[in-house]
Amino acid sequence: MIMPRGQQLLLPASPGFIWGSLLAALMLDLLPLGRVPWMPDFLAVVLVFWSIHQPRRVGMVAAFVFGLMLDVHQAARLGQHALAFSVLIYFAIMLHRRILWFSVPGQAIQLLPLFAAAHAITIVLRLIGGGVFPGWSVLLAPALEAALWLPVSVLLLAPQRRAPDPDADRPI
């Protein structure tokens, strides 16, 4: 694949950093902040990020397992988040080459429908199971997740941007 002009060549991501960031995002989702409908799903954003940038290391199995962990913690219907995360990661992996050609704000716009679809799946499954509609403020969550794409991209790509052995003779 030919890189777009001006894009920096990145170092490979450390597996420890990938899984550590996923566990940190899971811990953010597990914080007892009071579950409000508009709260963004940090784990979904980080899962999508790594499935786009490292699709061979983070895939649908990881999304399913993290979704089951979130279902157990939130006492939701078992498989509700697992299904939503699996569908989200499937489409993210399917589109990952196209998404990487956009700038980071363009990537966020491209991912907004995916985040909205994941939330729609959880809402529909909740309603089928006899739950109540969480309110229209739930429409804010995908927009906040898309807005989080910029800081998450900067934060998670920072360790890969450093030069392996910087010196004055090598520009990379």
Q: Could you give the angle at which helices 60-74 and 42-53 cross, rounded to 10 degrees?
A: 170
Residue at 165 is within a domain: no
Residue at 57 is within a domain: yes
How many domains does the structure of the chain reveal? Answer: 1
Residue at 128 is within a domain: yes
Contacts 24+ apart (CB under 8 A), 104-111: 104/149, 104/150, 104/153, 104/154, 105/150, 107/52, 107/149, 107/153, 108/146, 108/147, 108/149, 108/150, 109/146, 111/48, 111/145, 111/146, 111/149
pLDDT, residue 159, reads: 80
Residue at 164 is within a domain: no
Q: pLDDT tens digits for 51-63?
A: 999 988 998 999 9
Phi and psi at residue 170, to the nearest 5° = -115, 120
pTM of the model: 0.85
Residue at 65 is within a domain: yes
Q: pLDDT tens digits for 102-158?
A: 999 999 999 999 999 999 999 999 889 888 888 888 889 999 999 999 999 999 988
pLDDT, residue 106, reads: 94
Residue at 58 is within a domain: yes
Residue at 116 is within a domain: yes
Q: Which domain holds residue 99?
A: 21-26+38-156
Residue at 168 is within a domain: no
